[in-house]
Chains A and B, each alone.
Chain A
Amino acid sequence: MEKGGLLPSLDDSIKEIRRISGGSSDLLINRFVTGGIHCALLCCEGMVSTSVITELIFEPITDIPQQKDSHGLFHYINEQLLLSTDRPQVKDYDTLFKLVNSGFAVLIAEGVDFGLAFGVQGYNSRGVQEPSGEGNIMGAHEGFTETIRTNMSQIRRRLKSPELVMELFTKGEKSRTDLCFCYMKDRVPKSLMEKVRRSLDDVELEAILTTGYLRPFVENGSFEIFDSTGTTERPDVLCSKLIEGRVALLVDGVPYAIVIPRLFCESFQTLDDYAYKPYYAVFIRWLKYAAFLAAVLLPSFYVAIVMYHPELLNSTLFMLLVEAEKKAPLSILTETLFVLLMYEIIREAGVRLPKPVGGAVSIISGLIIGDAAVNSGLVSTPLLTMTALSVLGGLVVPEFNPQVTVLRFIFVIVGGILGLFGISLLACAVLVNICATEDYGFPYTAPLSPFKRKGMGDTAVRMGMKKMQSRGFTVEEYHE
Chain B
Amino acid sequence: MNSISKSQLAALLLIADMFELFCFSGNMSLQTLYGVLAGIALQLLAALVLAAKGTELKKCAAVFYLAYTVFFGGTLFSALWRTSGAVYIPSESGSGVSGRLLTAGLIALVCLYSSSTGIKPVARAAVIAAAAGILCLGIDFISAVLNAEWGNITVPEKRGLFYEIARGAALSGSLGSLVVLSGAVKGERSKAFVWYFAAKAIVSAVLILTVLAVSGGIMSVTPFPVITAAQLSQPFDAQRIDALFLVIFAVFAVFSAALQVMTGAYLIKQIFPRFVRWRSSMVIVFIIGAALMISGRELLPVRACAAAAALIFAPLGAKKSAA
Binding site for B on A (CB under 8 A): 222, 305, 308-309, 311-316, 417-429, 431-436, 438, 443, 445, 448-451, 480
Contacts and interface: CB of A to CB of B under 8 A. Distances in A.
A435 B125 contact: yes
A431 B249 CA distance: 16
Interface centre among A308, A420, A421, A423 (most CB of B within 10 A): A421
Give chain B's interface secondary structure class. Answer: helix
B238 A315 contact: yes
B90 A450 contact: no
Interface of B: 5, 7-8, 88-92, 103, 106-107, 110, 113-114, 117-118, 120-122, 124-125, 127-129, 236, 238-243, 246-247, 249-251, 254-255
Contacts of B88: 308-309, 419
29 contacts: A222-B117, A308-B90, A311-B240, A311-B242, A312-B243, A313-B239, A314-B239, A417-B90, A418-B89, A419-B88, A421-B89, A425-B106, A425-B110, A429-B110, A431-B125, A433-B121, A434-B125, A435-B120, A435-B121, A435-B124, A435-B125, A436-B121, A443-B124, A445-B124, A445-B128, A449-B125, A449-B127, A450-B124, A451-B127
Those 3 A-B pairs whose CB atoms lie nearest each other, nearest first: A424-B250, A436-B121, A314-B238
Contact of B118 (A312, A424, A428, A436): A436
Contacts of A222: 117
A445 B8 CA distance: 14
Given A425-B107, A436-B117, 7 more contacts: A314-B236, A314-B238, A424-B247, A432-B125, A433-B117, A445-B128, A480-B120
Contact of A432 (B7, B106, B117): B117
Contact of A431 (B89, B103, B128, B243): B128
A200 B153 CA distance: 65
B251 A427 contact: yes
B246 A421 contact: yes
Contacts of B236: 314
Contacts of B92: 421
A421 B250 contact: yes
Contacts of A445: 124, 128
Contacts of B5: 450
A421 B83 CA distance: 13
A428 B251 contact: yes
B250 A432 contact: no
Contacts of B129: 428, 431
Contacts of B122: 432, 435
A315 B236 CA distance: 13
Given A422-B106, A424-B250, A425-B107, A309 B243 contact: yes
Interface centre among B8, B88, B125, B238 (most CB of A within 10 A): B125
A315 B118 CA distance: 45
A222 B118 CA distance: 12
A449 B124 contact: yes
Contacts of A421: 89-92, 103, 246, 250
A305 B240 CA distance: 12
Contacts of B7: 451
